[in-house]
Amino acid sequence: MIEANSSTKLEDENLEINLQGKKLQEIRNRALENIEEFWAQQANDLIWSKKWDKILDWNPPFAKWFMGGLLNTSVNCLDKHINNIIKNKAAIIWESESGDVRTLTFNQLYVEVNKFANALSNLGVKKGDRVTIYLPMIPELPIAMLACSRIGAIHIVVFSGFSSQALTDRINDSKSKLIITADQGIRRGKILELKKIADTAIASTPSIENVIVLKRGTTEITMNKKDLLWHELTEKAKSYCQPELVESTHPLYILYTSGTTGKPKGVLHSTGGYLTHIYATAKWVFDYRNEDIFFCTADIGWVTGHSYMVYAPLLHGVTNVIYEGTPDFPTPDRYWALVEKHRATILYTTPTALRIYMKHDLSIPNSFDLSSLRLLGTVGEAINPDVWLWYFRIIGKEKCPIVDTWWQTETGGIMLSQCLGIDTIPMKPGSATFPVPGIDIGIVDEKGIDVNANNKGYLVIKKPWPGMLMTLWNNDDKYIDTYWNKFQGFYYSGDFALIDSDNYIWLLGRSDDVLKIAGHRLGTMELESAFISFKAVAEAGVISKPDKEKGEAVVAFLVLKSGYTESAELKKDLVDHIRKTVGPIATPNEIYFTNKLPKTRSGKIMRRLLKSIITNSEIIGDTSTLEDEASIEEIKQIYRDFQDIAK
């Protein structure tokens, strides 16, 4: 059975689901009664060389989990599988944009990681050193991450689409000792000259001692004095590297988040607590099975790629598909083709990618055999109910449950989701359902007091959890100010949400994206979902602009589905639709039609860029994550044309 929120009408839905959910509720209640004992039980699933002396050292807002415990990440991901049947199972199935395929078994991955770990050690990299990884979506990226973890080095993965300045900033902030890159990456048929970008960055990074270059292309590489070739280093390296046992609180990685103002923040994650969280949540949410082929479409440069593309599948001995490409190049069918080709059983993707596919004719996904899928997942932003239903009906054929997951770079792992590995509950299209066990979520008002059902508020986390960030790299003060000062004792997520009368949680977008129209607070997510529920609209980006009468007025940027064209009549129909579904207060003052919206490379709409265009103001903050600069230029031209007509 599927339930819907009040704005979504469902007909003839008869999905057979256990409606009880009692087992999940009992586990959640028991976990919150004693979070330390609960998470210690989960930590027992990992391989520890020495068990912890203390489960949690909580000195708000700093948490240290499993104090005194010793372990190694690569041992938990690889060594544990080498003496059993999983050894010869595929760990990674990699496919390129052009269709080239490469498969690595767990044993092959183990050997490659050990060789590269020895290569790093031979260059003087040791426990605690920072290593920046600037590689495309290829198997060598997780190999490099795991090799760093094997010797206790802290890795910093930088998305391969970033500029030299973004790379320089991250290297200098972390004071990385070494950078790993490739001569090239490929995206949308174009060659990204990563080595040249890295060379530019390294000119301003005094901490870098060596550069390891992976050769992929056929042209000769210009080598500098710090440069070394990957294949030459690994050819000479031994095939076994003694793993460095590290404290549970030893940092595993730094991952930089994009700042809306100022420079990116270096989120620091531990080893023992982080691995415990992602191991448990992957088991609960995805209900991993031995035969699963897990296809996560995220880039490893983002936290989803770290947690649920690299570490969690390997911890569980699950085969993972890695795709070096975009969802709609060279044709708008790449994910469906990959599911069919590799018989993927779980698809974990973004609402943004789904909206891209929704623009096209249904004959595209319907022409592929997607029968191998048993579970669908979403991540990255809240999913609009209409997108959820499209995913459920068209891709899942009304047979696959959907896990809509909410979490952040800072949380390390999933915080809100269905937990199909524990129990099943009714699905509500667009709701992330409930907190996973051991996570104490609250929705509070400006004073930090819990709001009543169906009232909007700020999403906070009330108790520490093992996957939480330790701090911001070399910036404890900013860590405290950003996440803990708004509500004393609570972690402030920066997201707006509500709990309905059934205690289901609904994400309403970033709290700084809330519009105040004539004294009423409207979430961008709420308005964008209303636009997308209209038959002609594939994507929506909603912002506000100053208005003398209302204070703020609604402005919408819309991408239409194929077969629809903009017109005055369509605008009128859209206005009427918003008035009916949300209310007259949400009537848009301006509607613009565009071919694409400005998004980060992880698929999030960059609303502040839209607002800067509408208000003719300077773009503030980090724009290094912008996927396609042409989207901004197109919108600027559309707005200029509108102003000319208005004159």
The residue out of 463, 497, 531 marking a domain boundary is 497
Q: Is there a cis peptide before residue 313, judged by omega within 30 degrees of 0?
A: no
Best CA proximity match to 570, nearest among 554, 541, 597, 592: 592
Q: How many CA atoms lie within 13 A of 4 on its CB side?
A: 15
pLDDT in the model for residue 618:
59
Q: Is there a cis peptide before residue 61, judged by omega within 30 degrees of 0?
A: yes
Task: Tell me: do 350 and 305 sit in the same domain.
Answer: yes
Sign, Cα dihedral of 377, 383, 385, 387: negative
pLDDT in the model for residue 262:
52
For residue 65, give the amino acid letter.
W
> Is residue 267 a contact partner of residue 410, using CB atoms and an 8 Å limit?
yes
Best CA proximity match to 387, nearest among 178, 396, 158: 396
434 inside domain? yes
Average pLDDT (56-74) is 98
Residue 543: is its pLDDT beyond 70?
A: yes
For residue 9, give the amino acid letter.
K
Q: For 47-82, what is the HEC assignment?
A: CCCECCCEEEEEECCEEEEEECCEECHHHHHCHHHC
Point out which residues pair with 403 in neighbouring strands.
Answer: 377
Packed helices 140-151 and 106-122: angle between N→C axes, nearest 10 degrees:
60
Task: Tell me: do 161 and 202 sit in the same domain.
Answer: yes
Task: Tell me: do 389 and 242 sit in the same domain.
Answer: yes
Domain that holds residue 629: 518-646
DSSP 3-state of 157: strand
530 inside domain? yes
> Is residue 336 a contact partner of residue 360, using CB atoms and an 8 Å limit?
no
Task: Tell me: do 228 and 163 sit in the same domain.
Answer: yes
Task: Report the CATH number at residue 635.
Answer: 3.30.300.30
The residue out of 446, 465, 497 marking a domain boundary is 497
Residue 6: is its pLDDT beyond 50?
A: no
- pLDDT above 70 coverage of the chain, percent: 90
**Ramachandran angles phi, psi of 189, nearest 5°:** 80, -5
5 inside domain? no
Sign, Cα dihedral of 297, 301, 304, 306: positive
- pLDDT above 90 coverage of the chain, percent: 74
CA–centroid distance for 401 within its chain = 20
40 inside domain? yes
Please tell me the distance from the alpha carbon of residue 379 to that of residue 400, in angstroms, as a whole number: 16
Tell the residue number behind the tokens 């709609």, with chain if given: 328
Residue 491: is its pLDDT beyond 80?
A: yes
4 inside domain? no
- The chain-wide mean pLDDT, for the chain, equals 90
190 inside domain? yes
Please tell me the distance from the alpha carbon of residue 150 to that of residue 318, in angstroms, as a whole number: 20
More confident residue, 382 or 243: 243
Task: Tell me: do 164 and 117 sit in the same domain.
Answer: yes
Please tell me the distance from the alpha carbon of residue 411 to that of residue 216, in angstroms, as a whole number: 35
Best CA proximity match to 314, nearest among 324, 326, 325, 306: 306
Q: Which region among 40-44, 261-265, 343-347 has the lowest average model confidence (pLDDT)?
A: 261-265
Give the tens place of pLDDT for each residue, 115-152: 999 999 999 999 999 999 999 999 999 999 999 999 99
**Ramachandran angles phi, psi of 402, nearest 5°:** -115, 130
Task: Tell me: do 589 and 558 sit in the same domain.
Answer: yes
Q: Where are the beta strands (DSSP E) in 170-239?
A: 178-182, 185-187, 190-192, 210-214, 227-229
Number of domains in the chain: 2
Give the tens place of pLDDT for each residue, 277-335: 999 999 999 999 999 999 999 999 999 999 999 999 999 999 999 999 999 999 999 99
Best CA proximity match to 482, nearest among 410, 573, 407: 410
CA–centroid distance for 16 within its chain = 30
**Helix, strand, coil percent values for the chain (each to nearest 5):** 35, 25, 45
Task: Tell me: do 425 and 551 sit in the same domain.
Answer: no
Residue 17: is its pLDDT beyond 50?
A: no
Task: Tell me: do 380 and 449 sit in the same domain.
Answer: yes
Task: Tell me: do 85 and 170 sit in the same domain.
Answer: yes
Task: Tell me: do 597 and 560 sit in the same domain.
Answer: yes
3 inside domain? no
Task: Tell me: do 469 and 527 sit in the same domain.
Answer: no
Task: Tell me: do 358 and 272 sit in the same domain.
Answer: yes
Q: Which region among 209-218, 254-263, 318-327, 501-510 has the lowest average model confidence (pLDDT)?
A: 254-263
629 inside domain? yes
Best CA proximity match to 240, nearest among 372, 147, 348, 335: 147
Task: Report the CATH number at residue 92.
Answer: 3.40.50.12780
Please tell me the distance from the alpha carbon of residue 603 to that of residue 333, in angstroms, as a whole number: 17
For residue 236, give the amino acid letter.
K
pTM, entire model = 0.85
> Is residue 115 a contact partner of residue 231, using CB atoms and an 8 Å limit?
no
Please tell me the distance from the alpha carbon of residue 111 to that of residue 87, in angstroms, as a whole number: 11
Please tell me the distance from the alpha carbon of residue 491 to that of residue 494, in angstroms, as a whole number: 9
Give the tens place of pLDDT for each residue, 595-637: 888 877 666 777 878 888 887 765 555 555 566 665 667 777 7
State the DSSP string of 282-341: HHHHH---TT-EEEE-S-TTSHHHIIIIIIHHHHHT-EEEEEES-TTSSSTTHHHHHHHH
